[in-house]
Structure 1
Amino acid sequence: MQTGDEPASPAVSERVLTLPNIISFARLLLVPVFGVLIFTERDVAALVVLVIAGASDWFDGVIARRFNQMSRLGQLLDPAADRLYIFVTLVGLAWRELVPWWLVVVIALRDVVLAALLPVLTRHGYGPLPVHLAGKAGTFALMYAFPLLLLGNVAGTLGTVAWTFGWASALWGVGLYWLAAVLYVDQVVRIVRSDQRGARPA
């Protein structure tokens, strides 16, 4: 039972035109710009765009919570933008032979697994489940790793240190990314089993 002293959960609205959603749309529009910069090896400009995208991701979350502007559209846009930046960066780095292609496959396969669960959730009357903390941490680690891997292309001590920490962060991010996927699958299995038990005759 909830007492008067407990904070109420923030309401999630169906609004579209909110400031956090506008920021998320702007971040999505920067994805092709970022992709061109990565593939044309304009690394300084690409790093600037990546930093802006990461900062805006944090900023729109703060605004949404502070001013009660959390929306279902925003819950879809934020992880979609994060995945696009991760995918474009990985493909660009692999194309330039800065990271191996197996890293692209491992991360992309995780998103394929999650996408395959969406029809199951829909059949049981659910939309996409909330992003798990492990998934957010994994995304943060990957987004942190990419600038370091780009800096690893620089000759000298700076490049060596950046490359080492970049790979450590990338592998940690992949582990958390897949841990979140396992937790997500477990949630879906629990939902399906719960609905099956409820459908059985008494």
Structure 2
Amino acid sequence: MAQVPSRTTRVWTIPNLLSMARLAGVPLFLWLVLGPEADAWALALLMLSGITDYLDGYLARKLDQRSTLGEILDPVADRLYILAVVVGLALRDIIPWWFAVILPARDALLWCLVPFLRRKGYSSLPVHFLGKAATFNLLYAFPLILLGDGEGIVADLARTFGWAFAIWGIGLYWWAGLLYAWQVYRLHGDADRQGPRVE
């Protein structure tokens, strides 16, 4: 039988510190984009966020520092970065407002499903591969779209590849959201038949 990865209640782990640093970068990114419009620094911050997003998961596994807090911080940091970026870029007229609305709308749908999970005794749903793939695409798309807000061949290429990643990311993001909704529906039916359990 496969061994279940251990989780700890520790707060001050290396992966958690990386996630906290990513969270602290959210308001900094918004200030850089909307205040001085320091796009080079905002771009560097986005790239650093993508690196730390990979590192916190890798180090949690490598150092056996998986934690309950980390399972919350990592997706929250991802969602807040996505929200901050789409709002910041929309306010700068770099992306259209429909783009800025369609991503948070998916998260709002999933938040509406949380009470159904809680009522049946479930704490959360496992992270799906599609959700990770969507986040990966979006975290690549945003720096490229920001870099594409300029003139020249580099900006043109960045804009083209950025929107390619963005379109794939939006599609996968909503596909994953619908799969999560389907899981909640199935769990709701299973719980009615078997009784509640906490994961």
The Cα RMSD (Å) is 1.1
Residue in structure 2 matching 1:56, options 39, 52, 55 = 52
Question: What is the letter of the counterpart of residue 98 of structure 2?
Answer: W
Query: Residue 102 of structure 1 corresponds to which residue in structure 2?
Result: 98
Q: 2:8 aligns with which of 10, 13, 22?
A: 13
> Which protein has the larger Cα radius of gyration, Structure 1 or Structure 2?
1
Following TM superposition, by how much is the alpha carbon of 1:15 offset from its aligned partner in structure 2, in angstroms? 2.3
Is 1:137–2:133 an aligned residue pair? yes
Q: Report the Cα offset of residue 26 of structure 1.
A: 1.4
Candidates 11, 28, 31, aligned match of 2:26: 31
Distance in 2, Cα, partners of 1:45 & 1:151: 11
Partner of 1:188: 184
For residue 73 of structure 1, the aligned residue among 61, 69, 72 is 69
Q: Number of residues paired by the alignment?
A: 194
Deviation, 1:14, is 2.4
Distance in 2 between residues matched to 1:130 and 1:72, nearest whole Å: 13
TM-score after normalising by structure 2: 0.94
Seq. identity, %: 49
Deviation of the 1:23 alpha carbon = 1.4
**How far apart, CA to CA, are the structure 2 residues paired with 1:21 and 1:159?**
35
Q: Which residue of 2 aligns with 1:116?
A: 112
TM-score w.r.t. the length of structure 1 is 0.92
| 1:161, distance to aligned residue in structure 2 (A) | 1.2
Map Cα deviations across residues 95-134 of structure 1 (whole Å, 9 max, x no partner): 1111100011110100000111111111111112122111
Q: Give 1:67 shift.
A: 1.4
1:147-193 superposed Cα distances (whole Å, 9 cap, x missing partner) = 11111112011111111111111010000101110110111111110
TM superposition shift of 1:8:
1.7
Q: 2:123 aligns to what SS in structure 1?
A: coil
SS of 2:9's partner is: coil
Bigger RCO (CA 8 Å, 6+ sep): 2
What stretches of structure 1 move > 6 A for 4+ residues in a row? none
Q: CA deviation at 1:12?
A: 2.3
1:22 alignment counterpart? 17
The reply on whether 1:84 has 2:80 as its aligned counterpart is yes
User: What stretches of structure 1 of length at least 5 have no aligned partner?
Assistant: none
What's the counterpart of residue 151 of structure 2? 155
Give the whole-Å Cα distance in 1 for the aligned partners of 2:10 and 2:125: 19
Q: Distance in 2 between matches of 1:167 and 1:132?
A: 23
Q: Take 2:67 and 2:182, find their aligned partners in 1: how far apart are those partners? A: 25
In 1, distance between residues paired with 2:43 and 2:71? 25
Q: Indicate if the aligned counterparts of 2:145 and 2:163 stay in contact, CA closer than 8 A.
A: yes
SS of 1:102's partner is helix
How many Å separate the matches in 2 of 1:33 and 1:130?
30
Per the TM alignment, residue 56 of structure 1 is displaced from its structure 2 partner at its CA by 1.0
